Amino acid sequence: MINQQMPLRVQVLRGKIVESEHDVLAAFWKPQQGLVGHAGNPESIVLPRSAIKMLQALPLVESGAYAHFQLTKAMLALACSSHHGEKIHLDLLNEWMARVNPKSELILQESNLACGPHMPYNSQSAEELIRQGQNACRFHNNCSGKHFGFLTTSLFYGETLKNYHLEAHPSQRRVRQALSEVMGVDLARAGWGVDGCGIPTYGIPLQNIARGIGALSDETLPLPRRQAATQIREACFEFPEVLSGTKDWATQVIRKGDGKVLLKVGAEGVLCGLLPQLQISFALKTVDGNGRAVQAVAFEILKSYGVFTEKTAKEIWDSFGGQIKNTLHEVVGEISVLTKNYSQEDGH
């Protein structure tokens, strides 16, 4: 386990010359033990962004909306996703609407989404839109599944859908309450900003973010929450390509991890991870917001806990950015974590 006052340093080499360096904060959590490791200040305030979408989906399940509307596991994974706008994601959104609307007095439609349109993250899907002469819609927004979760829960409670994304709406109050409970911090007193998709994003100590992610496999939680957390965890394990995209690096990590690791990335260099078999969760934040740096640290962590062999981890990492390549696809540099003092505790 990492225990050091300084952040982890990620170095980018082009040839033998240091081109860039990034500092990464880390916090590790175990239920009943609390904070068990860190790099840098574990109380650093972080905006978790999309890295905690699995926790933001708790009210969808706990309210009974998920069961009432007979949503599928894939739809639950979509509610936790930063999806890439592929056909699989759009088909699920349309099927979701078809399940909800016959059972609701209000009609759920694309115009209800508060998240604005952007081109699909998947390049093939984006190119297909352009070839067809179409513009991106709100379904293509990577957060549309999460927003469908909010809207569906509000429909279940008979609430107005207007301004469901704003801090004062019951939808966001429920999310804030769930986050406060699993993270062990009162977010009603926390500073917050507006996320890219329009909902509140709270400033939370990094160690509390790690604690929250750990709730997804915490067997000491009250039964209703434990059951909801289990449903969310299992849905994300079963449908990682829905959680992000068919060609995303995190999809490959979850698939090849075979139940040993669940990862979720957020904007500005945030990453949350869960190792359910070891009852360890962790949260990472690159100080300068660089995403490649937290990926590099995540792979070191996964190797240290035996989730992957060094060979497998290197194969995945090199395929998704670990190697610096030129336009001829020749390897001209590498990205690596300088501090590698990962020692094991408790036999792990």
Q: Phi then psi for 52, rounded to 5 degrees?
A: -115, 25
Low-confidence ranges of the chain (pLDDT < 50): 341-348
**pLDDT per residue as tens digits for the range 301-317:** 999 999 998 889 888 98
- pLDDT score for 340: 52
Task: Please state, as a whole number, how many other Cβ atoms lie within 10 Å of the Cβ of residue 168.
Answer: 9
Six token digits for residue 61: 């399940």
Spatial separation of the C-alpha atoms in residues 181 and 171, rounded to whole Å: 16
- pLDDT score for 2: 85
Handedness of CA 156, 189, 37, 7 (dihedral sign): positive
- pLDDT score for 347: 37
Beta bridge partners of 98: none
Percent of the chain with pLDDT over 90: 89
Domains and CATH numbers, the chain: 3-337 (3.40.710)
Does residue 271 contact residue 261 with C-beta atoms inside 8 Å?
no
- pLDDT score for 339: 60
Spatial separation of the C-alpha atoms in residues 271 and 284, rounded to whole Å: 5
What is the distance between the terminal CA atoms of the chain, rounded to a whole angstrom? 9
Does residue 218 contact residue 226 with C-beta atoms inside 8 Å?
yes
- pLDDT score for 102: 81
- pLDDT score for 319: 87
Closest by CA position to 316, among listed 217, 249, 229 = 249
- pLDDT score for 346: 41
The angle subtended at Cα 125 by Cα 121 and Cα 131, nearest 5°, is: 130
- pLDDT score for 342: 43
Spatial separation of the C-alpha atoms in residues 221 and 133, rounded to whole Å: 50
Beta strands 270-275 and 200-202 are unpaired
